[in-house]
Amino acid sequence: MTDKQYGAPPVDAPAPKPKRRRNLLLWILGPALVLGIGGYMYVTSGRYVSTDNAYVQADHVTLAPQVGGRVAEVLVRENQRVKAGDVLFRIDQQPLQIAMTRMQAQMESVRSLLDAARAGYASAQADLRSAEEALRVNERQYQRVKEMREKGLVAQKDLDDAANNLASARGKRDSDVAALEKAKSMLGGLPTTNNEELAGYKLAQAQYEQAKLDLEHATVRAPMDGVIGKTNLQPGDFLAMGQAAMPLVATNTLWVDANFKETDLTHVIVGQPAMVEVDTYPGRKWPAHVASISPASGAEFSVLPAQNATGNWVKIVQRIPVRLQIDNQDGGPTLRAGMSANVEIDTGKQNSVIGRIQGARGAPEARVAVSQQ
């Protein structure tokens, strides 16, 4: 029986060629694609350094009164926005007003004393002139009596009286000289010296200005634009001078402090571009740049820095704080101090052969830039 009778296909039928070509193409393109992706990752690796140990920071101050006293009025509340110069709270001004009035009266009293000293100086000058004239008269009188006594024309008692009058005139002259010097010293050595140049008046004026300044400090104002933090200040509370009253966090000076591993800072220098992503706003990125690099690791600024030269030692990669300035803070979501962030810095240095050569050349420049911060 023949094959045709059983319906069998011809034995010499050719195999399909497109499938073999497709397999060959996959075997070629697959490894090439893997090598291309691996090469790209190798070339671009090392250009970007990133860390999630980063936090938004802002200027903040703890407001405290410069004078002590009872709180008379509180004009702000917690989480309220304020402008620079806005009144936050006031200390009771009555005791300070009384002190300023007392200092003002004391200054007027010193002015009156100085005017009296000038009049006393003029009187002492007149008394001294009179005493000197009286001394000259008594000296001439003593000489005449002495000559007459030598001739026997007067008694010894007359000579003794003339000598006593001469001594009294000299004592009066010396007393008037001392009074004149005392009046002169009260006027700073010169009777024509202005009150504002005399030590006594300066002291009284300084006390008055201090009392006036204390009265102004009874009104506490915001030193900058910002938001009031947590506070429980109420009217009637007593605050000592320098006692913390409320915190104020600035809203126009935000930056990011990123703590990079020391091994990531090989090619990081000031001015390099960066991207900041805050955990509160996923997918939202802020352009930034490296503003400065800390001169020491964070451990160096701790209360108890590590003593690596004693005991058993284990090498630990240190963290170096890097400050990033956000380029554009307006028009986006609100950033608040303390928010966690992710930071990525574009160093511009690639891991290729050319990139390594550039990195080796740029490393000294990076070290100089870091040392200058």
pLDDT in tens, 98-132: 999 999 998 888 888 877 777 777 777 777 788 78
Amino acid at 65: P
The total number of structural domains in the chain stands at 3
Does 103 lie in the same domain as 78?
Answer: no
- Is residue 81 a part of any domain in this protein? yes
pLDDT for 190 equals 66
Q: Assign 16 a pLDDT band (cuts: 50, 70, 90).
A: low
Q: Tokens 């009104």 correspond to what residue?
A: 219
- Is residue 159 a part of any domain in this protein? yes
Q: Tell me how far apart the alpha carbons of residues 341 and 275 are, in angstroms, rounded to a whole number.
A: 10
Greater confidence (165 vs 265) lies with 265
Q: In what helix (H) or strand (E) does residue 67 lie, and over which residues does it extend?
A: none
Task: Count CB atoms within 10 A of the CB of residue 300.
Answer: 12
- Is residue 318 a part of any domain in this protein? yes
- Is residue 21 a part of any domain in this protein? no
Does 88 lie in the same domain as 103?
Answer: no
Of the ranges 119-128, 152-161, 226-235, 347-356, which is most confident? 226-235
Q: What is the domain-level CATH number for residue 297? A: 2.40.30.170
Q: What is the pTM of this model?
A: 0.65
- Is residue 24 a part of any domain in this protein? no
Lowest mean pLDDT among 14-28, 44-58, 175-189, 299-313: 14-28
Lowest mean pLDDT among 32-46, 95-109, 255-269: 32-46
Does 192 lie in the same domain as 177?
Answer: yes
User: By three-state DSSP, how is residue 328 classified?
Assistant: coil
Range of the domain at 266: 48-58+247-304+313-372
Does 272 lie in the same domain as 207?
Answer: no
Does 165 lie in the same domain as 113?
Answer: yes
Residue 367 main-chain phi, psi, to 5 deg: -65, -40
Please work out, in degrees rounded to the nearest 5, the angle formed at the alpha carbon of residue 333 by the alpha carbons of 327 and 337: 75
Long-range contacts of 95-101 (CB under 8 A, 24+ apart): 95/69, 96/67, 96/69, 96/211, 96/214, 96/215, 96/218, 97/215, 99/211, 99/214, 99/215, 100/208, 100/211, 100/212, 100/214, 100/215
Does 133 lie in the same domain as 76?
Answer: no
CA dihedral 28, 33, 38, 41 (to 10 degrees): 160
Greater confidence (308 vs 316) lies with 316
Does 205 lie in the same domain as 287?
Answer: no
Please list, in sequence order, all residues whose beta carbon lies within 8 angstroms of the beta carbon of residue 55, skipping any fewer than 6 positions away.
256, 257, 338, 339, 340, 341
- Is residue 36 a part of any domain in this protein? no
pLDDT digits (tens, 9 = 90+) for 337-362: 999 999 999 988 765 555 555 544 54
